[in-house]
Each structure stands twice: as C-alpha cells, then as structure tokens.
Amino acid sequence: MPFRVGVRVSLLLVSRTIVSCYRTMSHQSHVSQFFLSYPDFTLNRDAPPTREFLRLKGLNHWENGDEAYIEARERFADALAEDFNAKYGTDIDNIDNWHTLCHVLRIDPVPEGISACRKV
C-alpha cells in the first residue's frame, strides 16, 4: 500500500498536483493503469483524474455505499498516491521534496523551512 497521509487531505492535494503532469503521464502511470483496468471506459487525458473517476462511477452506476465503488475508490486513491510519491517523494523530512511541491502549487515565495512549508 502506498504512503498516504490523511486520505481526505492527501487525495485533494494529490489530485491538484497530479493534474499538473497528468496530460503528459505515460500509460505506465498508476492512474493510467487504474483507468485501463476498465476496458469499457475511455480516458479523457484533458480532464482532471478526479473528474474522470466520477465519470467512471456514473458509467458503472456505482452508489457511494456499493462494494464495487468502495473498492474502486480505494484503488484510485492508491494510484494517485503512488504517482504523487513517484513525483514528489515520500520523505516528509526532505526539504527538496517540499520545495518541489511548493513550486508546482505556485506558492511564492517558497518557504525556507519544512515547518513553514507544512503550514502553507
């Protein structure tokens, strides 16, 4: 299982940052592989991955409590986290990882310390 911190917060953060590189993701990315596991689904690479997941949910007529939906949502969250980890690293004590994330999120000025990065 990939490293995930606070699923709700990380899923939103991961989604926002993955969108920045999503269009150029290879077919080998975890998110792409997730969507490719549904052969009746045609992925729109111009749409954010979370929007595509909601479209997949509708296509499959999943309700929030459905076992298939819960399993798919967990697999999707894991795929997003795997791609995020590959791009930004998993070492939460590495200032370079934080600076990379701040640059992608267009935080200016980029905070110097890890504590300051975590606050923004």
Which residue, among 81, 23, 24, has the nearest Cα to 52 in the 3D structure? 23
Tens digits of per-residue pLDDT, 14-47?
555 555 445 445 567 899 999 999 999 999 988 8
Domain boundaries, the chain: 7-88, 91-120
Residue pLDDT, tens place only, 56-97: 999 999 999 999 999 999 999 999 989 888 888 888 899 988
Contact 7, 77 (CB under 8 A): yes
pLDDT at position 28 is 78
Q: How many CA atoms lie within 13 A of 86 on its CB side?
A: 14
pLDDT digits (tens, 9 = 90+) for 2-20: 544 444 444 455 555 555 4
The pLDDT assigned to 27 comes to 63
User: With contact defined as beta carbons under 8 Å apart, do 10 and 79 qualify?
Assistant: no
pLDDT at 105: 83
Q: What is the pLDDT of residue 7?
A: 40
Q: Looking at the predicted structure, is the pLDDT value of residue 103 above 90?
A: no
Q: Which residue has the tokens 């007529």?
A: 61
Rounded Cα distance between 35 and 38, Å, is: 6
User: Which tokens sit at 66?
Assistant: 């459905």
Residues with Cβ < 8 Å from 78, sequence gap 6 or more? 1, 2, 4, 30
